[in-house]
Amino acid sequence: MNSSISGANSGTNQTLMGGGGTEAARRGGVSAAGFIGGAEAPLGTITGFAAAFSSFSLARPQIMPEESARLARAERFELQAVARSTLPGHRIRCCLLYRRPNTASVEVRRSSVSGLAYYAGLQVCGRGAVCPICGARIAEHNRGEIQAALDVWRGRGGVPALLTFTMPHYRSQGLAENVKGLLGAYRALTGHRSYREVAGAGGLTHSIRSLEVTWGRQNGFHPHLHMLGFFGSGYGAAGLRERLPLLWLAELQRHIDITNTDHVLERGVRFQVGFPAGAEYLSKVGQAWGLAEEVAKANRKKGRGDHYSPVQLLCHVRDGTLPEAAAVYREYAEASKGLHFLQWSRGARAALGLAEEKCDEEKADGEDQGDVVLASLTAEEWRAVRVGGWQARSRLVELADYDEDAALGYVAHLVERFRQASGGVR
């Protein structure tokens, strides 16, 4: 049983997560390693991409999409359909299926950044926590902004660091209750005078916190927080490492029942990227993800061991490899309502040169007016694509990546099939 689960799991995630590392390399983003220690990103990632890119870019001026990104997009269409049927009545039911009221037609466009074809003019749910398509778009948008903020901070001689705050959790506890306790404790911690003193001594000026939720058979839901701190260069000597665990324990005790205080002191706060003792972690994870990915795409990472990410849970629902997966996903979706998974500290965005934050629906629409329009579909054409299910919607953009004529031919085929199915009545 176990081997079949982990087998299905790793295969799925290879496809899903494949775009992450290469995307970072392709965009030339500053990895955590490059930022702090001057180490280089894994060679395989960069050279692998460069080889693929040059062979295409010489042949055609258009940016050719990465195969891993095309596979990931196809899988997101499929997993969105799985999420839709797992969550009846959820807002995801309309996502990328129906035209937005204020748009003339559904268009197929090609992104000038990724080279991937996509649909424009459709409603999106913007529920990044549960919708695989909106989630990927929102995470990518956040990643870009965090990277820009890190670049500004680096230019000012600052140092970024990543901390993780966890809490003890048991299978009997509900997620909503745990998240409430976790967020309450974090809010109280960051408002506490002692925390402000010790963080201030380290030059902590801004921060971004992201909420990540995983689930495991043994201990149930495991909500935890990542905090990306924008520190001054002398932060290492400020005593954060010694004092923060005690402060965190005190706040957790005020918000949830804690039986094992030693556990919290030992593992409640993890000093990751950017801290001296985090060098090992940096070499393993930082190179592949970079800090921006680590924070922005927390819920899209591959879980470790008995910890499944929400996306992995959906894969299990699809594959039928984890009996509890659908019920767990439903509880996760319910508890996620209204939560801010990513939050910038007050004033951080303006101070780091970013505009006012967009809402998740705007981040999720993924449209760029400058992108090439490959096709404008009539109402009937879109209906024919829509009734073809996720497979038809996925297939159409796959064809449009390389060949608009083939894509249009496919639409004509779908319309024909649709007319036949509806007995000639349009």
3-state secondary structure of 391: helix
* In contact, 339 and 211? CB cutoff 8 Å: yes
- Distance, in Å, from the CA atom of 206 to the CA atom of 62, rounded to the nearest integer, reads 39
Using only the alpha carbons of the chain, give its radius of gyration.
23
Nearest approach, Cβ of residue 408 and Zn ion (Å): 26
Nearer to Zn ion, 53 or 98 (CB): 98
- At its nearest, how many Å lie between Zn ion and the CB of residue 92? 5
Residues with Cβ within 8 Å of 200's Cβ and at least 6 positions away in sequence, in order, are: none
What is the DSSP secondary-structure string of 38-100? Answer: -PPPPHHHHHHHHHHHHHHHHH-SSPPPPHHHHHHHHHHHHHHHHHHHHSTTSGGGGTTTSB-
Which CB sits closer to Zn ion, 93 or 243?
93
Nearer of residues 69 and 95 to Zn ion, judged by Cβ: 95
Taking CA atoms, 283 is separated from 69, 123, 279, in Å, by: 25, 41, 6
Give the nearer residue to Zn ion in terms of CB position, either 131 or 162.
131
Q: Least distance (Å) from Zn ion to the CB of residue 396?
A: 18
Alpha carbons 318 and 315: distance in angstroms, whole number: 5
Using CA atoms, how far apart are residues 223 and 180, in angstroms rounded to an integer?
10
Residue closer to Zn ion by CB (options 95, 249) is: 95
What is the distance between the alpha carbons of residues 324 and 366, in angstroms, rounded to a whole number? 33
If the CB atoms of residues 93 and 192 are measured against Zn ion, the closer one turns out to be: 93
> Least distance (Å) from Zn ion to the CB of residue 120?
14
Q: Specify the pairing of strand 159-165 against strand 206-216.
A: unpaired
Q: Smallest distance from the beta carbon of 108 to Zn ion, in angstroms? A: 18
Nearer to Zn ion, 131 or 397 (CB): 131
Closest to Zn ion by CB, 72 vs 134, is 134
C-alpha span between 139 and 211 (Å, rounded): 12
Min separation Cβ 96 and Zn ion, Å = 6
Neighbours of 348 (CB within 10 A): 16
Site of interaction with Zn ion (CB under 5 A): 95, 125, 131, 134
Surface-to-core class of residue 204, CB atoms within 10 Å of its CB (0-12 exposed, 13-18 middle, 19+ buried): buried
Collapsed DSSP state (helix, strand, coil) of residue 277: helix
State both tokens at 192: 């506490």
Contact criterion met (CB below 8 Å) for 25 and 46: yes
Shortest separation between residue 362's beta carbon and Zn ion, angstroms: 13
Q: How far is the CB of 132 from Zn ion (least distance, A)?
A: 8
To Zn ion, the closest distance from the beta carbon of 268 in angstroms equals: 34
Beta carbon of residue 123, minimum distance to Zn ion (angstroms, whole number): 9
H or E element, residue 213 = strand 206-216
- List, in order, residues 6 or more apart from 87 with CB less than 8 Å away: 93, 130, 329, 330, 333
Q: Provide the residue type at 323 as one letter.
A: P
Residue 251 or 367: the one with the smaller Cβ distance to Zn ion is: 367
Please identify, using beta-carbon distances, which residue of 251 and 360 lies nearer to Zn ion: 360
